[in-house]
A and B are shown apart, each in its own frame.
Chain A
Amino acid sequence: MSVESIFPRLEALLPKVQKPIQYVGGELNSTVKDWDTADVRWALMYPDAYEVGLPNQGVAILYEILNELPGTLAERTYAVWPDLEKLMRAEGVPQFTVDGHRPVRAFDVLGVSFSTELGYTNMLTALDLAGIPLRAADRGDDDPIVLAGGHAAFNPEPIADFLDAAVLGDGEQISIAISEVVREWKAEGRPGGRDELLMRLAESGGVYVPKFYDVEYHADGRIKRVAPNRADVPWRVHKHTVMDLDEWPYPKKPLVPLAETVHERFSVEIFRGCTRGCRFCQAGMITRPVRERSITTIGAMVDNGIKESGFNEVGLLSLSSADHSEIADVAKGLADRYEGTNTSLSLPSTRVDAFNIDLANEFSRNGRRSGLTFAPEGGSERMRKVINKMVTEEDLIRTVTAAYSQGWRQVKLYFMCGLPTEEDEDVLGIADLAKKVIQAGRDATGSRDIRCTVSIGGFVPKPHTPFQWAGQADHETVDRRLKALRDNLRGDKRYGRAIGFRYHDGKPSIVEGLLSRGDRRVGAVIRAVWENGGRFDGWSEHFSYERWMAAAEQAGVDVGWYTTREREENEVLPWDHLDAGLDREWLWQDWQEAVSGAEVEDCRWTPCYDCGVCPTMGTEIQIGPTGRKLLPLTVV
């Protein structure tokens, strides 16, 4: 039975909303497969506005892989803005996909990719608009399996009530495996209904089905244990790791939006994982080990991506792009290939110590020399030891001196406030550092036309990191330190006007902290916030701290207990049954070493299996150099 497009009904609403183009689909390289040719159908959601969701690599990759799979189709859906939501409710138009404009409820699986916890309320809006019951327990056989992925899915407990399942780690292979399980179950005539399908997924050990696990609590509120409530459901669920990225050269057909989006470029992931060991960084912990894409595959993907998309910018993505073992050859090879074509290259994430000026020169050869961005994260040497981001002041000054003398005029520095053991003077150290940066620039160029921007946000302790036990700084402390830093910078006559200051206040971080390290009891808060109008919590103009606090009170949830409370070693954490491969004892030891300021090496260069990921997951570090170079492209 085919499913009708809701587009005619949507079309009548579009003249009344802002930026209607975001809802019409039809992007270059988008795919609309015939509904009846597929027996497994995925709706993939990025739970934020189209302009943020479209460039998301995770969704784009799965969309392509699933659409390549015979008998399977995938369409995309995004959060609709409140103006359209209101009209859809009034006219009874359901949540739809932008490809076929099919109602989301008609799909077999609704896969939601969470880069951040602040998308949770948007998922509830989408479920509600789709006509899918919010609580998984209330869903029937005609409702899709609601499946979460992305980094936030490494602790899906706060949204456990709303999810049927969650997947940890790289989605390429597991999304195919899930498709086959669904296909088989449907072909057999859906035996045992929804529960059996979920059982088949759970038994594999690669899909977490919250309803098959019970959580018991101590009288004081701590978790006593999390245990499967059915035989054949494993005690722990493991993350997925794709080995050999060269075998998965996606995106091959990059989506080219008509609407304006946050990243207007073709992005290639040059490696996955990071073992620098920054203790605050959840991404670095949960994506281990490092797996590089080879220089030749990167070259081929860029060539193909530019031809397929027409983008004039290429982004080389990873958690720390200058750490690729052949980054210099990649940069030079690409800059040579695209010389004179107005194609610019960008390296969005670089460490000060891995950065060098030759690299920066290659990257700016075909584009602008606008600004450089570094993230020392901590203002003092002591703070940087605690977080194990070993960037020395000398490194930073040497690097910015070189940059300013080579013609850059603007450097951006990223920091965090509220880190474990942080004192007021650690944050004020940021001001000293920024002033030294300006002075270095003035000395190097003899010019006073030197700028530096300090950008700072509140630190949020994340699951599966050494800081998962830490007490988060309260927002009053963060705001007080930020104000002191701002006053110090603004009040400085010699440097103040050369230093820009951008900050986020501490309140949103508290809500993010609640959702990051929350357990199943936090679900009631999310639901209450959503019922009270909470939408687009990642957008400051929509976010309301007061709404979150009122909802927490209504749900009887003590926000401080979840955020600012430091945990004991043996406390059962809500995500302990979800296995990112990290050895819990190693994490704890690293947390203790953080407090005492001891550093840990990068295992890429000094073999070390202490974190436990490779032995547990059967993975290995994959790095070059391959020794190969990029040859000039043949002109047709």
Chain B
Amino acid sequence: MQRLRVRYAKRGRLRFTSHRDISRAVERAVRRAGIPVAFSAGFSPHPKISYAGAAPTGVASEAEYLEIGVTTPCDPGQVRQTLDESLPTGLDVLDVVEAGPGGLADRLEVSDWEVRLPGADREFAGVAVEKFLAAGTVEVERLTKKGLRRFDAREAVLGLTVSEGSDRTAAQVQGGPCVILRMVVRHMTPAVRPDDVLTGLRLVADFAPPVPPEVTRLAQGPLDASTGALADPLDLDRDITRGGEAGPAGEHVAG
């Protein structure tokens, strides 16, 4: 069975979709696109589509991943196009590759988050970030399905920087300046989310943004040990399926 790995984005107002909403939308899009998805056996067959590391409801993402099992081999480029056309605008397919060996979830070690804080104070944010980074541990609490959990939000944070930009959607503060936090966070259990880091900033420096933050996951993937940079998790599949051939798939280089 061929497996296809899909990178997709969750943008704009569709950031309010939950994980369950997305899985229903993808199942329907796969049917509309006529992708020969495989089904599980048994009394209640389910399409073989699996998801890795979904962003929380309300959080936008440029780097969500799923895997589709198909009964007959498909051209990844074609799947990318038809699946994207079949999904509502805002759930946008960015990349499709044929899966190589190794699990996809294991490669998603780290996330790069952008957190826009309209109306927040730039200087205050800088102080809070410094204090947070200087702390050994920052214990935060979050209500999870298993009840209130207390955990360290500091250790997972590999990088945290402050910059300034404009409010992209102009939703809360029309045209006003906007503090932007970039955070590179290691995936751990329990997961440390951007809002946990914000809770941490409040605890260490009493820093609290005036309106709900706009959070976007920019990337997720393995951490390159030598450079410390975040790598594309699908590159490994591409290297294998293309057999090391340079250039886009299907292109024949003369000579």
Which one of A8, A16, A20, A312 lies within 8 Å of B31 (CB-CB)?
A: A312
Whether a CB of chain B sits under 8 angstroms from the CB of A264 is yes
B window 1-32: CB within 8 A of A: 13-14, 16-18, 20-21, 24-25, 27-32
Whether a CB of chain A sits under 8 angstroms from the CB of B89 is yes
Whether a CB of chain A sits under 8 angstroms from the CB of B211 is yes
Residue of A nearest to B43 (CB): A368
Listed stretches B142-150, B166-174, B232-240; interface member: B166-174
Given contacts A8-B170, A12-B172, contact A24 B13 (CB under 8 A): yes
Whether a CB of chain A sits under 8 angstroms from the CB of B86 is yes
Q: Is the CB of A307 within 8 A of B32?
A: yes
Residue of A nearest to B25 (CB): A258
Q: Shortest Cβ distance from A515 into chain B, in angstroms?
A: 34
Q: Is the CB of B88 within 8 A of A258?
A: yes
Q: Which residues of chain A are near B29, meaning CB under 8 Å?
A: 310
Which one of B14, B20, B25, B212 lies within 8 Å of A15 (CB-CB)?
A: B212
Q: Which residues of chain B are near A307, meaning CB under 8 Å?
A: 32
What does the 1/0 interface line of A249-261 toward B look like (CB < 8 Å)?
0000000101110
User: Could you say which of B17, B31, B45, B89 has the most chain A C-beta atoms within 10 Å of its C-beta?
Assistant: B31
Q: Is the CB of B16 within 8 A of A256?
A: no
Given contacts A15-B212, A26-B89, A310-B86, contact A20 B57 (CB under 8 A): yes
Q: Is the CB of B171 within 8 A of A25?
A: no
Whether a CB of chain B sits under 8 angstroms from the CB of A309 is yes
Q: Which residues of chain A are near B21, meaning CB under 8 Å?
A: 21, 258-260
Q: Is the CB of A21 within 8 A of B169?
A: no
How far does the alpha carbon of A28 sit from the alpha carbon of B88 in the complex, in Å? Answer: 6
A window 302-336: CB within 8 A of B: 306-312
Q: Is the CB of A14 within 8 A of B58?
A: yes
Q: Which residues of chain A are near B43, meaning CB under 8 Å?
A: 368
Q: Is the CB of A26 within 8 A of B20?
A: no
Q: Which residues of chain B are near A423, meaning CB under 8 Å?
A: none
Q: Which residues of chain A are near B24, meaning CB under 8 Å?
A: 258, 260, 264
Whether a CB of chain A sits under 8 angstroms from the CB of B176 is no
Whether a CB of chain B sits under 8 angstroms from the CB of A342 is yes
Whether a CB of chain A sits under 8 angstroms from the CB of B76 is no
Q: Which residues of chain A are near B18, meaning CB under 8 Å?
A: 19, 21
Which one of B13, B27, B45, B86 lies within 8 Å of A11 (CB-CB)?
A: B13
Whether a CB of chain A sits under 8 angstroms from the CB of B39 is yes
Q: Shortest Cβ distance from B33 into chain A, in angstroms?
A: 8
How far does the alpha carbon of A258 sit from the alpha carbon of B16 in the complex, in Å? Answer: 10
Which one of A8, A21, A311, A368 lies within 8 Å of B28 (CB-CB)?
A: A311
Which one of B20, B45, B171 lies within 8 Å of A8 (CB-CB)?
A: B171
Whether a CB of chain B sits under 8 angstroms from the CB of A583 is no
Q: Is the CB of B88 within 8 A of A310?
A: no
Whether a CB of chain A sits under 8 angstroms from the CB of B90 is yes
How far does the alpha carbon of A9 sit from the alpha carbon of B43 in the complex, in Å? Answer: 46
B window 97-127: CB within 8 A of A: none
Q: Is the CB of A312 within 8 A of B13?
A: no
Q: Shortest Cβ distance from B132 into chain A, in angstroms?
A: 22
A window 256-271: CB within 8 A of B: 256, 258-260, 264
Which one of B16, B86, B171 lies within 8 Å of A12 (CB-CB)?
A: B171
Given contacts A20-B57, A20-B58, contact A25 B39 (CB under 8 A): no
User: Could you say which of B13, B28, B172 has the most chain A C-beta atoms within 10 Å of its C-beta?
Assistant: B13
Q: Which residues of chain B are near A21, meaning CB under 8 Å?
A: 14, 16-18, 21, 57
Q: Is the CB of A27 within 8 A of B88?
A: yes
How far does the alpha carbon of A20 sit from the alpha carbon of B12 in the complex, in Å? Answer: 13
What does the 1/0 interface line of B45-70 toward A look like (CB < 8 Å)?
10100000000011000000000000
Q: Is the CB of A310 within 8 A of B28?
A: yes
Given contacts A26-B13, A258-B88, A342-B39, contact A11 B32 (CB under 8 A): no
Given contacts A11-B171, A258-B21, A342-B45, contact A25 B13 (CB under 8 A): yes
Residue of A nearest to B118 (CB): A12
Whether a CB of chain B sits under 8 angstroms from the CB of A7 is yes
Given contacts A20-B16, A258-B17, A260-B21, contact A11 B169 (CB under 8 A): yes
Q: Is the CB of B14 within 8 A of A16?
A: no
Whether a CB of chain A sits under 8 angstroms from the CB of B44 is yes
How far does the alpha carbon of A306 sit from the alpha carbon of B16 in the complex, in Å? Answer: 26
How far does the alpha carbon of A310 sit from the alpha carbon of B83 in the complex, in Å? Answer: 12
Q: Is the CB of B17 within 8 A of A310?
A: no
Given contacts A7-B13, A21-B21, A312-B27, contact A368 B44 (CB under 8 A): yes
Residue of A nearest to B170 (CB): A8
Residue of A nearest to B14 (CB): A26
How far does the alpha carbon of A258 sit from the alpha carbon of B169 in the complex, in Å? Answer: 22
How far does the alpha carbon of A19 sit from the alpha carbon of B19 in the complex, in Å? Answer: 12
Which one of A14, A26, A309 lies within 8 Å of B90 (CB-CB)?
A: A26
Residue of B nearest to A12 (CB): B172
How far does the alpha carbon of A258 sit from the alpha carbon of B89 in the complex, in Å? Answer: 12
Q: Is the CB of B13 within 8 A of A310?
A: no
How far does the alpha carbon of A15 sit from the alpha carbon of B44 in the complex, in Å? Answer: 35
Residue of B nearest to A261 (CB): B24
How far does the alpha carbon of A24 sit from the alpha carbon of B58 in the complex, in Å? Answer: 12
Q: Which residues of chain A are near B90, meaning CB under 8 Å?
A: 26
What does the 1/0 interface line of B34-46 toward A look like (CB < 8 Å)?
0000010001110
Q: Shortest Cβ distance from A345 into chain B, in angstroms?
A: 15
Q: Which residues of chain B are near A258, meaning CB under 8 Å?
A: 14, 17, 21, 24-25, 88
What does the 1/0 interface line of B71-101 toward A look like (CB < 8 Å)?
0000000000000001011100000000000
How far does the alpha carbon of A25 sit from the alpha carbon of B14 in the complex, in Å? Answer: 9
What does the 1/0 interface line of A380-396 toward B look like (CB < 8 Å)?
00000000000000000
Which one of A12, A24, A264, A311 lies within 8 Å of B211 (CB-CB)?
A: A12
Q: Which residues of chain B are near A26, meaning CB under 8 Å?
A: 13-14, 88-90
Residue of A nearest to B212 (CB): A15
Residue of B nearest to A28 (CB): B88
Given contacts A8-B170, A26-B88, contact A15 B58 (CB under 8 A): yes
How far does the alpha carbon of A316 sit from the alpha carbon of B122 in the complex, in Å? Answer: 59
What does the 1/0 interface line of B158-202 toward A look like (CB < 8 Å)?
000000000001111000000000000000000000000000000
Q: Which residues of chain A are near B25, meaning CB under 8 Å?
A: 256, 258
Given contacts A20-B58, A21-B21, A27-B88, contact A310 B14 (CB under 8 A): no
Q: Is the CB of A14 within 8 A of B16?
A: yes
Q: Shortest Cβ distance from B247 into chain A, in angstroms?
A: 32
How far does the alpha carbon of A16 sit from the alpha carbon of B89 in the complex, in Å? Answer: 24
A window 1-33: CB within 8 A of B: 7-9, 11-12, 14-16, 19-21, 23-28
How far does the alpha carbon of A362 sit from the alpha carbon of B172 in the complex, in Å? Answer: 55
How far does the alpha carbon of A15 sit from the alpha carbon of B16 in the complex, in Å? Answer: 8
Q: Which residues of chain B are near A7, meaning CB under 8 Å?
A: 13
Q: Shortest Cβ distance from A517 into chain B, in angstroms?
A: 41
Residue of A nearest to B29 (CB): A310
Given contacts A24-B14, A310-B27, contact A260 B20 (CB under 8 A): yes
Which one of A9, A15, A309, A342 lies within 8 Å of B32 (CB-CB)?
A: A309
How far does the alpha carbon of A27 sit from the alpha carbon of B58 in the complex, in Å? Answer: 17
Q: Which residues of chain A are near B27, meaning CB under 8 Å?
A: 310, 312
Where the two chains meet, the residues of A that have a C-beta atom closer than 8 Å to any C-beta of B are: 7-9, 11-12, 14-16, 19-21, 23-28, 256, 258-260, 264, 306-312, 342, 368
The 7 A-B pairs at the shortest CB distance, nearest first, are namely: A310-B28, A310-B32, A310-B31, A24-B13, A20-B16, A15-B212, A21-B16
Where the two chains meet, the residues of B that have a C-beta atom closer than 8 Å to any C-beta of A are: 13-14, 16-18, 20-21, 24-25, 27-32, 39, 43-45, 47, 57-58, 86, 88-90, 169-172, 211-212
Further 7 A-B residue pairs, CB within 8 A, beyond A24-B16, A256-B88, A310-B31: A20-B57, A21-B14, A21-B21, A26-B88, A28-B88, A256-B25, A258-B24
Identify 13 residue pairs between A and B in the complex whose beta-carbon atoms are under 8 Å apart, listed by A's number: A7-B13, A11-B13, A12-B172, A19-B18, A21-B16, A21-B57, A24-B16, A26-B89, A26-B90, A264-B24, A310-B28, A310-B31, A312-B27
